[in-house]
Structure 1
Amino acid sequence: MPVASKPVPGRSPLHTLLLLRYLQLLRDRPILTKALTSGILSAIGNLVSQTIESQRKGQKSQKYLDLKGTFRFAVYGFFFTGPLSHYFYLFLEEAVPSTIPLAGLRRLLIERLIIAPAFLFLFFVLMNLLEGKNIATLNHKLKDSYWSALKMNWKVWTPFQFINVNYIPVQFRVLFANMVAFFWFVYLSSTRK
């Protein structure tokens, strides 16, 4: 019969220490913590996606990784997704307190009909800028891809955002959205043909 491992007195497991440290940073430096989390998860999601894509094509992943693309996603996550989402979720709590009638639906409608289209537009503009492309290229991308991307965003993200804006504590909403985005990005990469 195997002997059960016993915790060392006075020592917490590593995952507990990491969680406690994250919660402390979230309390002490919420914007920086959410910015770092967004930047790191965006970069890792992009790397995993590229790796899956290159393996599907039978390429050696190191040789075909677009590290500039990964850097662009990290920059977008750090400077835009993390901080803007932090302020948006705080605003939503103030503007639509849970005590008013249909608060959950109102929060969802604000996020889905105002914030999601604006955030997607910002993504297109900033990625175009970070790629060094011109306005004509941006206009072409917007014309060709924006509406289909927005419809897909509404289709996929609506249930997650309903949960996020109504059931996830406000300090964890950016992390929740980042995790959903990460797994969705990886899922899309693994199912692409």
Structure 2
Amino acid sequence: MPVQSLPIRDSAFHVRLLHQYLILLKNYPILTKSVTSGILSAMGNLLSQALEAKRKAKEGTPVKEIDISGPARFAFYGLLITGPVSHYFYQLMEVLMPTTVPYCMVKRLLLDRLIFAPAFLLLFFFVMNILEGKRWADFQSKVNSSYWSALKMNWKVWTPFQFININYVALEFRVLFANMVALFWYAYLASVRK
């Protein structure tokens, strides 16, 4: 008996959702990656707030309501910066270091970890400072107090994921893969920014 697949319209919701996402990714790659980045970035901030509230409740300290401005800032950052910048960075990496280049796996990882990650993290601190309406002195203080520890944590957390992402994940899915990891990374960054 031959195996038959159901038409997409008769498939489960998650299959239809994935199918639609793939169509959007093909037809509108930057917009799709940007919107996905915005949504997952906001979810990372909400996750951070939920974890913070749970910790405070356990300690018996007062729990604040969800701060909607946090997820809004993270959504803005993901939509306008993470999505497009990541898209173009991965595209550029493919041009500069195609798989035919000797040691390309290591070179790609070094480019990502030693150049892109430090600059992108600094950009995150800068943009969040602006979105929070803070002064230049506040930015400098936050960089002095948190940047180095956040960068070291970035290297610890992201290095294995980025090695897999830039060397084994298809180019069109790299931003999505990174966004899935970033969901938890942004929860960490939101807690560091407090």
1:59-74 → structure 2 map (5 Å cutoff): 64-74=65-75
Aligned residues: 183
Deviations 1:20-52 (A, max 9, x none): 110000000001000000000011111122112
User: Which residue does 2:88 correspond to in 1?
Assistant: 87
Deviations 1:61-105 (A, max 9, x none): 7x5211101110000000000000000000001110001110100
CA contact (8 A) 2:33 2:84 kept: yes
1:35 equivalent in alignment to 2:34:
yes
User: Which residue does 2:182 correspond to in 1?
Assistant: 181
1:137 equivalent in alignment to 2:146:
no
Shift of 1:188: 8.8
Q: 1:9 to 1:73 in 2, by over 3 A?
A: closer
Q: 1:8 to 1:174 in 2, by over 3 A?
A: closer
Instruction: Please report the RMSD computed on the Cα atoms of aligned residues, expressed in angstroms.
Output: 2.3
User: Which residue does 1:109 correspond to in 2?
Assistant: 110
Shift of 1:54: 0.8
Query: Normalising by structure 1, what TM-score?
Result: 0.88
Shift of 1:186: 5.2
- Structure 1 letter corresponding to 2:51: I
CA contact (8 A) 2:44 2:185 kept: no
Q: Percent identity?
A: 58
Q: 1:71 to 1:9 in 2, by over 3 A?
A: closer
- Structure 1 letter corresponding to 2:125: F
CA contact (8 A) 2:77 2:127 kept: yes
Unaligned runs of 5+ in 2: none
CA distance in 1 between partners of 2:74 and 2:141 (Å): 21
Q: Which moved more, 1:43-52 or 1:116-125?
A: 43-52
Unaligned runs of 5+ in 1: 1-6
CA distance in 1 between partners of 2:115 and 2:45 (Å): 26
- Structure 1 letter corresponding to 2:56: K
- Structure 1 letter corresponding to 2:86: S
Query: Normalising by structure 2, what TM-score?
Result: 0.87
CA distance in 2 between partners of 1:161 and 1:153 (Å): 11
Q: 1:71 to 1:188 in 2, by over 3 A?
A: closer
1:76 equivalent in alignment to 2:77:
yes
CA contact (8 A) 2:49 2:66 kept: yes
- Structure 1 letter corresponding to 2:93: L
